[in-house]
Amino acid sequence: MNNEKLSGNYKVEFNATKLSSGIYFYRMQTGNFTETKKLTLFKIDTVFYNRKYFKAVDGQLFYVN
């Protein structure tokens, strides 16, 4: 997103499917205020949760027997 918005609340969907794991920075600007934040992205393909294995495919988790 690289455009101006009127004041209010907004939701932005961040698609990281083509990005590698790593640290990324993003910046929010309004008037004479600027804030830069850090985003840490971990790309994994298997998750162990609640004593079960899940496989990540296209951002969705699927149970693996």
Render each residue's pLDDT in the chain as its tens digit; 65 residues.
Answer: 678 888 889 888 888 888 888 999 999 888 899 999 999 988 777 778 888 888 877 777 888 87
Query: Would you say the pTM of this structure is higher than 0.85?
Result: no
Are the C-beta atoms of residues 38 and 46 closer than 8 Å to each other? no
CA 56 remoteness from chain centre: 15
CA dist 17 and 43 (Å) reads 9
**Coil, strand or helix at 17:** coil
Q: Are 28 and 37 contacting, i.e. CB atoms less than 8 angstroms apart?
A: yes
Domain of 52, in residue numbers: 1-65
Q: CA-to-CA distance for 47 and 63, rounded, in angstroms?
A: 9
Number of domains in the chain: 1
